[in-house]
């Protein structure tokens, strides 16, 4: 039994090494060059715009699919227009007894590359660095509800960063309260110009994302 377990572990390690080496051979070393003109970046910190947002920035902790921190600071930024729309969605959520709990927002390009290079087998869930992510433009946000009375995160059909069909916004499993909460989140976000990503109930892109360029600016450099 021990020998079989060791063989299985070795095969898993080989698979990880294969995917990682393949990705490294294909992944660009620098952000993609984009043609055309873009609006000036106006990234704003969400809690400074509205301190009642709650943050759970998983990528600043080991509690994420990478198993280690990839951000040095637990902060969240969006382009001003998207941030203002999110504040309005937050207000609508409060009317329903919920607040918005932010997992991630603007993401430097090098982190997108790190995700892709490490787990290329999850290509449906991770952005290709050769094309960039809407997170890199400051126009995507990952979030959920928290209950205003209890302060607890609201249960959804899957947890954040779940790379299975349970994460799909049209998944019909889970409990009825979980699906109702997920669908309400989508309704409120769509009412303010956000669109849900087809594979992740928590990921929303702002309608004006095409107006902004891909960025690789660290949090500490924003606003300088």
Give catalytic residue positions.
Answer: 200
Contact (CB, 8 A) for 74 and 100: no
């Amino acid at each position: 039994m021990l020998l079989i377990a060791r063989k299985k572990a070795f095969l898993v390690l080989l698979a990880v090494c294969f995917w990682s080496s393949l990705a490294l051979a294909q992944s660009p070393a620098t952000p993609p060059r984009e043609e055309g003109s873009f609006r000036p970046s106006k990234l704003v910190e969400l809690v400074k715009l509205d301190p009642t947002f709650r943050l759970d920035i998983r990528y600043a902790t080991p509690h994420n699919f990478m198993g280690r921190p990839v951000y040095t600071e637990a902060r969240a930024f969006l382009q001003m227009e998207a941030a203002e729309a999110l504040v309005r969605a937050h207000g609508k959520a409060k009317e329903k007894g919920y607040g918005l709990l932010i997992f991630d927002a603007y993401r430097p390009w090098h982190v997108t590359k790190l995700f892709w290079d490490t787990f290329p087998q999850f290509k449906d869930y991770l952005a290709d660095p050769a094309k960039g992510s809407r997170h890199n433009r400051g126009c995507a946000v990952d979030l959920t509800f928290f209950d205003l009375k209890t302060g607890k995160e609201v249960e959804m059909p899957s947890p954040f960063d779940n790379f299975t069909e349970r994460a799909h916004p049209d998944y019909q499993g889970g409990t009825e309260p979980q699906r109702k909460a997920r669908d309400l989140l989508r309704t409120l976000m769509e009412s303010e110009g956000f669109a849900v990503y087809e594979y992740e109930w928590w990921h929303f892109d702002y309608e004006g994302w095409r107006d902004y360029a891909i960025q690789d600016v660290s949090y500490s450099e924003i606003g300088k």
